[in-house]
Structure 1
């Protein structure tokens, strides 16, 4: 086998290692390297700017923001209320009888004097009951009259019988005395005397028994008549009540004043206890009645003052009953001040009830977004922050901690509870 030359061996190893395939490239110019670095830096900056520009769009956006600034001012601890004017003295008109309205004599808002007819009812049931009771009373009176007549006849008969028995007793007594005298002189026998004595005793006993029987019968008849008389008296009393009830079918004004809430119409049916209206005695003074949220109930004390377009008032009473989350308070003018003469019952007035004296504080307008966690403006974003709030009154909130004067706060309802929100 022929041996290869050393040259041939070197070429073969070069081919196997790939050295023979390498070649020298020309060096990149400096200006091209600088341009490449500038392009890479610009693209990176553009990408970062796009990322930063797109970041707020990922936050929840407040579509219609309502912003307000925190200001250092005076916090007025007062409530704005709408009160209704009403008289201090008024009389309620409740139906006392049932029936159908037959006539109405007055109208809503009219001034009526005491005992003025207001309306008249018609009650067929009451008319029928009155007729039945009248017939019953007449029947019982007739029965009493019959019993009295029978008693008079019985007494007359008893008197006649008693007179006859008394005459018989007197005759028997005289006969006994005559026989006793003749027997003593020997003209009549002892047997005749004994017979006369027995006749006298019998006549005396019959007379005594008749008197007792007549007295007992008279007592029984009298008790019966007394009971019937009491029954008749009770029926007559019931008849008087029915007649009074019939009179009450015409309702009279219990006092003088102006009718309020009186809307009765002819043909309407009413029942006992139905509220028909009231009579306001405007000469007794006027007052205001207002409804306040039960949240303020612990602070509603008599003596608080209130300002209105009709002058200063004083809270005199807080009604304790809570209805629909509201309590009612009574506001009155001082005794030395007369209410305006143009006020009318049912009219409404605006008033501001002062719960405490004004004091310096940081204040913020009231709104649904003003809570213990609210959003404060930071550039084009809103950042959630924990704050401490105090009293709320008259549409303003007292800020105790967490905010500074000039901070701009979202007072409207935020779209979510995220840490950050975006402004439109």
Structure 2
């Protein structure tokens, strides 16, 4: 066997048999790209098929299209008929019902007796006032009789004193003549003058006494007469109180809410019924608080009954809000329905302005949930997004859209309460 020589006598390593092959990167890159595309495709498929937004049933929604049209600035309300005038019946006295002469629903005339109350205390008060009044009248009569007697006596004294003065004056005159002729002494003349002066002083004193006495008696009579007038006024009040025990109809009309029973106790101020005007009526309507600043006195409207329209106008607005509504009273401007009963309901229309072109959206339940500040707009057949809008006037059927929507867009107009704060909806 021939043996090949090895240089340097080194053992064989096999290195001469190995060849360096360069690495191929293209396959690896292709596989990586293919894997990435597969992942993206899967992610896209998942994203595409995964629900986007709150899922809702399309059949449960009411969807409307934004359109241009004529906005009719009026509102429809349900109004109840009420008597135009009504007089409340309140008991002005307390006691026991002794008699009832009318029934609920009766037509009564002014002054007709409705019921009678018994109150022994009032009758005793009347007797006491009558007795006191009679006593004072007797005292006044006695005082006047005494005054007349005293006046006669004073006049007699005045007459006597006047006569005495006249006699004294005559005596003095004769004495003066005789003294001038020398037949009477100066002492006699002086005495005659003194008697005349005395008689004059007596008359003057009596006159002053009579004037003072007349003044005192006049004051006493005046005070007594004032007292009697006061007693007479009090007596009339008590008599009126006793008369009020027999309650009569203050006006003519239909007796309503009257349900008194004989033997029933009643207290002062208790509402026992009312008397309604049976011929003339007004309407009371509850209106949404949104229209409070627009429904004002004088606004015109109409109601329809049996195919005929009757003109009305706003007569009174009560601004107190209760459960989101306020009350407006409507008055018939000309005629009223021939057959109308208290409590009867009518459909009324109140005009707030003239019709005008506008971008319109049907009024719906969404208004109470969003305040017409935002809506859900359909982006395609199965999706809707929340969008802010600006709304203007509204009536029972229409909402005026000022901005945020375009003609032809479709909007969910049913209630939003079930959607919470969802920004997107998916319809299925």
TM-score normalized by the length of structure 2: 0.72
Counterpart among 110, 115, 119 of residue 111 in structure 2:
115
Find 1:393's aligned residue among 388, 392, 395.
395
Normalising by structure 1, what TM-score?
0.73
The reply on whether 1:136 has 2:132 as its aligned counterpart is yes
| Residue number in structure 1 paired with 2:386 | 384
Gap regions ≥5 residues in structure 2 = 1-7, 19-30
Trace 1:394-413 onto structure 2 (pairs within 5 A): 394-399=396-401, 402-405=405-408, 407=410, 409=412, 411-413=414-416
Unaligned runs of 5+ in 1: 20-35
Kept in 2: contact 1:314–1:334 (CA 8 A): yes
How large is the Cα RMSD of the aligned pairs?
4.4
2:295 pairs with 1:292: no
Alignment partners' CA distance in 1, 2:213 and 2:411: 109
Q: CA deviation at 1:111?
A: 0.8
Which of the numbers 243, 251, 255 marks the counterpart of 2:251?
Answer: 255
Aligned residues between the structures: 394
Q: Note if contact 2:104-2:257 (Cα within 8 Å) is conserved in structure 1.
A: yes
Q: Secondary structure at the match of 1:270?
A: coil
Look up the match of 1:341: 338
SS of aligned partner of 2:237 = helix
- Aligned partner (choices 188, 194, 202) of residue 198 of structure 2: 202
Correspondences of 1:24-423 after superposition (within 5 Å): 47-48=42-43, 51-52=46-47, 55-56=50-51, 59-62=53-56, 65-70=60-65, 72=67, 75-88=71-84, 90-93=85-88, 95=90, 97-100=92-95, 102=97, 103-122=99-118, 126-127=122-123, 129-159=125-155, 161-162=157-158, 165=161, 191-192=187-188, 194-263=190-259, 266-271=264-269, 276-283=272-279, 285-300=280-295, 302=298, 304-310=300-306, 311-324=308-321, 326-335=325-334, 338-355=335-352, 356-357=354-355, 362-368=360-366, 371-377=372-378, 378-399=380-401, 402-405=405-408, 407=410, 409=412, 411-413=414-416, 414-423=418-427
TM-superposed CA distance for 1:79, in Å, is 2.0
How much has 1:322 moved relative to structure 2? 0.4
Counterpart CA distance in 1 for 2:199 and 2:389 is 122
- The CA distance in 1 between the partners of 2:274 and 2:385, in whole Å, is 58
> Following the alignment from structure 1 to structure 2, what is the Cα–Cα distance between the partners of residues 113 and 366?
51
The verdict on how the C-alpha distance between 1:204 and 1:304 changes in structure 2, with shifts beyond 3 A counting, is closer
Measured at CA, do residues 326 and 132 of structure 1 come closer, stay the same or move farther in structure 2, by a change above 3 Å?
Answer: farther
1:282 alignment partner, SS class = coil
Measured in 2, the distance between the counterparts of 1:129 and 1:75 equals: 71
- The alpha carbon displacement at 1:260 in A equals 3.3
Q: Displacement of 1:112 after TM fit?
A: 0.9
CA deviation vs aligned residue, 1:366-415 (integer Å, no higher than 9, x gap): 12266443223434333333445444222443455524537352622152
What CA distance in whole angstroms lies between the structure 2 residues aligned with 1:318 and 1:180? 99
Counterpart residue number, 2:11: 7
Distance of aligned partners of 1:41 and 1:133 in 2 relative to their CA distance in 1, 3 Å threshold: same
400-409 vs 310-319, which moves further:
400-409
Equivalent pair of 2:62/2:412 in contact (CA under 8 Å): yes
